[in-house]
Amino acid sequence: CLEYQEKYVYPCVRGTALTGGYGRANYCHHASDQLVAGGTNAGRDEFPHMVLIGFGDSASNLGFKCGGSIISERFVLTAAHCSFSPKFGYATFIAIGVLHKDEARDQSKIYSIKRFINHPHYKSPSKYDDIALIETDREMQLDQFTVPACLPTEPVDDARAIATGWGATHYNTQPTDILQKVILYKTPVEECSRLFRSHRLFRRGFNEETQTCYGDRELPTRYQDRYESKDTCPGDSGGPLQIKSKKIDCMYIIVGVTSNGEQDCATPDSAGVYTKVAAYVPWIESIVWPQYSF
């Protein structure tokens, strides 16, 4: 993670002709305190690790149904259930460096999926172990605008986190064309266990070892004829739940992967379930960085 920060965010560059020598450039495109409450449009380059996952036969004719996070030059972290769509088939491409979905028409941003690696314990349609890695057909072109995110390799303060995605912004609406961000708060385990005690996708109940859930602390707001809370919704699946790193400046840590963006999302007193990334770091590292995995 520190290596990516030094390479893409604060790279060592040659000074001007007058000063000579080398110095650190500052290519950080988001402020350390830039967590704005509420579901709002993300800024340009604010989440440089975000990925759109596309379904279709050709890069020029894709339907985008999920999100993900760049974690290295060749790998993206996402949800296992994003590997296949009953309507569109298997995931085939990813798009990087995109804020508006229309920007994915730029072929330089498109990469073919070489392998979609679901966690070995994942079994559809259950949402247990709902985590996966995408290996691209070639190295992604990373730069100051496209920067990998970090994994939680040690305990972090994740009481408050920010979810991002191109999913629906309200109940029963179409996914948005521009990347959205929303601040969510960790829901107590007891409440998560109650909410998902008999859920059809969690037959064994909520698993606090591999799952976490987050919701909205603010009062519900009125939208058309119903009240809604902030949440992740259909189209957000696979996208990150992230925090700002306190140790490595201008870098995000992915603490969760959006797992159950349900049709009845954003209902008051609800919470969304996220795959707990910390529980899967050894598995991720064994595939992405096998040379450092023991």
Catalytic-role residue among 49, 69, 83, 130: 130
Phi-psi region of 83 (alpha: psi -120 to 50; beta: other; left: phi over 0): alpha
Could you tell me the end-to-end alpha-carbon distance of the chain, in angstroms, rounded to an integer? 18
Catalytic-role residue among 69, 72, 229, 237: 237
Q: Which among 286, 1, 247 is positioned nearest to 119, based on CA atoms?
A: 286
The two tokens of residue 201 are 């996708």
Catalytic-role residue among 49, 72, 81, 83: 81
Q: Return the biggest CA–CA distance within the chain.
A: 69
Torsion of CA 221, 224, 228, 230, to 10 degrees: -80
Say whether 69 is catalytic: no
Say whether 81 is catalytic: yes
Check if the beta carbon of residue 102 is closer than 8 Å to that of residue 178. Answer: no
| Nearest-angstrom CA–CA distance, 113 and 230 | 32
Q: Name the amino acid, one letter, at 73.
A: E
| Nearest-angstrom CA–CA distance, 50 and 189 | 28
Say whether 177 is catalytic: no
**Following DSSP, what letter does each residue of 103-126 receive, concatenated?**
GGG-GGGEEEEEEEEE-TT--TT-
* Catalytic residue numbers, as ranges: 81, 130, 237
